[in-house]
Amino acid sequence: MIITIDTGGTKTLIASYFKDGVIGKQLKFPTPHDTKEYVTVVRETLEKEFGERKIDAVVIAIPGIIRNGVAIWCNNLKWRNFDVAAAFKGVLGGAPVYVENDANLAGLAETRALKTQPASSLYVTVSTGIGSGVITNGHIDPGLRYSEAGRALVEFDGVVREWESFASGQAIVKTYGKYARDITSKRTWYQIADRISRGFLAMIPIIQPDVIIIGGSIGTYFERYGETLIGILKEKLPEHIPTPKIIQAAHPEEAVIYGCYYYALDMLDTKKA
C-alpha cells in the first residue's frame, strides 16, 4: 500500500492506494499552518489509520520549493527550511518517505493520463496560489523541478508584480468578492482569462511546451474562460512561437494525490534497480 499526502494551502488530503492503482481511504482536514501542529496531526492520523498495515512508501506533497526533503519556502503557508522528510521519518515502520512539490506531482499525474505522451508538458495549478510543474518525457524535469511560475514577474495594471498576486484563486476572490464557482459574468471571466494569460505569455516562449494543463480550483471552471484564454495567447504570442494545446486537468482537485502514487512507483522502481 502507498500513502499519499496532499498538503494544500487550506486543506490536507491523505489517501491510500493499493498497488494496482485503486484508491482506498481518503481523509481531509484543514492544514495547520504551524509546522509542529502539522506534523503532530498528520503523524497521529497516519498511525491511527494505517499503523497496522504494510506500507511500501509515503509520499508527501508540499506547496513550495523542496530540496532534499526540506521545504525551503512555502509562500502561502509561510514555512521556511522545514525538514519534512526528517519530521516524518519512521512514521509507518520502515516505509521510505518521499517529499516533492505538489505541482510537480500533479503535472506528473496529468501528463501520464494523456493518451499520447508529449515530449514536454507544462502543468499549472491555479488555486489558493499558482504552482507549476514541467514534465519532460514522462518525468519531472530535473532542470526545472524548482521553478515557481507563481513567482514569475510580469506587468499588470502598469506595475511589475508576481503572477500569483493578481491571477490566483485568492486574488480573484479579493478582486471580485466572489469565489470562481459564483462568477457568471462573461466580462469578469474575460478579465480573469487576461490575468491568467500574463504568466503564460512570459513562460511559453521559454519552455515551449507541447501541452499546457490547467488544474486547481480555477481549473475546474476551465470551460468558462478557456476559449478566451487561448484566443488571447494566439493573438499576442510571436508568430514563430506556436500556441500550445491547452486543456483542463482530468482531475483538477485530485491530481496531486494521483501524482504522489505515480512518484512512489517510480521511486520504488529506482530503489529496486
16-20, 118-122, 168-172: which has the minimum mean pLDDT? 16-20
Digit-coded pLDDT (tens) for 223-263: 999 999 999 999 999 999 999 999 999 987 788 999 999 99
Give the separation between CA 74 and CA 262, rounded to whole angstroms. Answer: 23
Per-residue pLDDT for 10 more than 90?
no
Mean pLDDT of 55-64: 95
Q: What are phi and psi of 233, to 5 degrees?
A: -65, -45
Q: Which is higher by pLDDT, 21 or 106?
A: 106
- Per-residue pLDDT band at 76 (split at 50, 70, 90): confident
56-60, 195-199, 266-270: which has the minimum mean pLDDT? 266-270
Tell me what the pLDDT averaged over the chain comes to: 94
Which CA distances in Å does 142 have to 10, 69, 135, 136, 187? Answer: 28, 15, 9, 9, 40
Give the separation between CA 255 and CA 271, rounded to whole angstroms. Answer: 24
Per-residue pLDDT for 196 more than 90?
yes
Q: Among residues of the chain, what percentage have pLDDT more than 70?
A: 99
pLDDT of residue 216: 86
Per-residue pLDDT for 273 more than 70?
no
Mean pLDDT of 45-53: 94
| Residue 196: closest CA among 143, 154, 257, 141 | 154
For the chain, which domains are there?
2-101+253-272 (3.30.420.40), 114-248 (3.30.420.40)
pLDDT of residue 129: 86
Q: Which is higher by pLDDT, 8 or 100?
A: 100
Digit-coded pLDDT (tens) for 26-43: 999 999 999 999 999 999
pLDDT of residue 245: 97
Say if CB 259 and CB 105 are below 8 A apart.
yes
Which CA distances in Å does 52 have to 40, 47, 117, 118, 215? Answer: 19, 8, 38, 40, 34
Which CA distances in Å does 4 have to 11, 26, 235? Answer: 14, 10, 41
AA identity, residue 67: R
Q: Which is higher by pLDDT, 40 or 148?
A: 40
Contacts of 184 (CB under 8 A, 6+ apart): none
**Is the four-CA dihedral 138, 117, 1, 254 of positive or negative sign?**
positive
Cα-trace Rg, the chain: 18
pLDDT of residue 271: 73
Cell of 257: 494525490
pLDDT of residue 252: 73
